[in-house]
């Protein structure tokens, strides 16, 4: 059974979903509006622009740039030399664009911001996937560009996690503090209304209590979906202790174990031996460096 943290089907089926398309609309319009490029002094009616890599990486953002140029450059023609999710090297021509030169310049900065940031996220995600060696890596809801960031994580081989708060219930400390019903009732209600339920736990005792409640009061009602226990800020070693105790006490079945909190590159080797099914980190979307690229243009005479 696959991990419920893969919500990429909400963004893409045979084409971008309405949810993904709406996000592309919002962000491209916002970025263009926030950086109006004006009219060049010597516009050319037709030009060729090439986006060229200045370092190696993993390409992400192809559908977003297709959307951007389709909506802002009339009669544009795009030739992709690298496919979404594939690697490229320093000096590779990633994309060639034929369109009105004035229109290309009007979205040049937006296009470069999008492709360099998204490719940076995909590249970092791909590196983390390899280091974790079998333990999945997922994004969190700590993003700058929302769905676009989530898509870039997916392209890099990671998992999107929840697309938004309504996508899957997550019962955290604040939710429990505001709730007027018991944890068991909260879990039961959520389990009947979603295939992806996450409960944040912060200690060994907390994890064992939730696991017992899940086994004794929820699974007996023939709930077959998995419960995700999010082990928050326990670290690789503390998370491994919890995983071992759950196994020892016969509570591991029906659970997905997710380690989170302060995950950094230097700790990934330890996380790969933590007993977790998945590790989640905001660092994928918040700390990824953009991939260096340039756009060069020439008049099409």
- Note whether 228 and 199 are within 8 A (CB): yes
Supply φ then ψ for residue 137, to 5 degrees.
-120, 135
**Residue 56 neighbours by CB under 8 Å, 6+ apart:** 87, 88, 89, 90
254 and 215 in contact (C-beta within 8 Å)?
yes
Alpha carbons 150 and 118: distance in angstroms, whole number: 9
- Give CA–CA dist 100/74, Å, rounded: 7
* Residue in this structure with the two tokens 């007027």, named with its chain if needed: 180
pLDDT of residue 2: 81
pLDDT at 56: 98
Q: Distance from CA of residue 179 to its chain's centroid?
A: 29
pLDDT of amino acid 173: 66
What pLDDT is attached to residue 274? Answer: 97
Residues 6+ apart with CB under 8 A from 120: 57, 152, 288, 289, 290, 291
> Helix, strand or coil for residue 295?
strand
Q: How far apart are CA 68 and CA 107, in angstroms?
A: 8
Rounded Cα distance between 178 and 186, Å, is 11
pLDDT score, position 164: 87
Looking at CATH, the fold of the domain delimited by 127-286 is given as TIM Barrel (3.20.20)
Where in the chain are the domains?
8-124+289-299, 127-286
Question: Would you state the structure tokens that stand for residue 72, as one six-digit string?
Answer: 């802002």
For residue 180, the 8-state DSSP code is: S
**For the whole model, what pTM was predicted?**
0.92
As assigned by CATH, the class of the 8-124+289-299 domain is alpha beta
Quickly tell me which residue has 């409640």 as its tokens: 213
User: Radius of gyration of the chain from Cα atoms?
Assistant: 22
Q: Where would I find the H helices in the chain?
A: 18-34, 62-72, 101-132, 147-155, 173-178, 183-193, 204-213, 235-248, 268-271, 283-286
Low-confidence stretches of the chain (pLDDT beneath 50): none
């Amino acid at each position: 059974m696959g991990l419920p943290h893969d919500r990429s089907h909400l963004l893409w089926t045979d084409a971008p979903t309405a949810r993904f398309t709406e996000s592309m609309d919002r962000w491209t319009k916002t970025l263009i509006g926030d950086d109006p490029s004006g009219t060049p002094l010597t516009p050319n009616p037709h030009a060729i622009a090439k986006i060229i890599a200045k370092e190696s990486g993993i390409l992400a953002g192809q559908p977003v740039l297709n959307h951007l140029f389709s909506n802002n450059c009339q009669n544009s023609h795009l030739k992709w030399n690298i496919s979404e999710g594939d690697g490229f090297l320093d000096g590779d021509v990633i994309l060639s664009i034929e369109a009105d030169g004035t229109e290309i310049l009007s979205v040049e900065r937006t296009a470069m911001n999008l492709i360099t940031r998204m490719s940076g996220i995909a590249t970092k995600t791909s590196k983390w996937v390899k280091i974790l060696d079998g333990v999945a890596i997922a994004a969190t809801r700590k993003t700058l560009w929302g769905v676009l960031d989530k898509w870039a994580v997916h392209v890099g081989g990671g998992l999107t996690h929840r697309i938004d708060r309504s996508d899957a219930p997550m019962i955290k400390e604040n939710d429990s503090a505001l709730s007027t019903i018991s944890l068991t009732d909260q879990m039961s209600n959520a389990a009947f209304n979603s295939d992806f339920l996450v409960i944040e736990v912060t200690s060994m005792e907390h994890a064992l209590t939730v696991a017992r409640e899940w086994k004794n009061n929820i699974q007996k009602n023939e709930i077959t979906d998995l419960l995700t226990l999010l082990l928050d800020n326990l670290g690789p070693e503390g998370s491994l202790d919890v995983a071992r105790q759950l196994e020892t006490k016969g509570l591991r079945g029906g659970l997905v174990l997710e380690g989170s909190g302060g995950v950094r590159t230097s700790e990934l080797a330890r996380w790969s031996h933590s007993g977790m099914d998945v590790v989640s980190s905001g660092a994928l979307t918040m700390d990824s460096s953009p991939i260096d690229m340039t756009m060069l243009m020439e008049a099409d005479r």
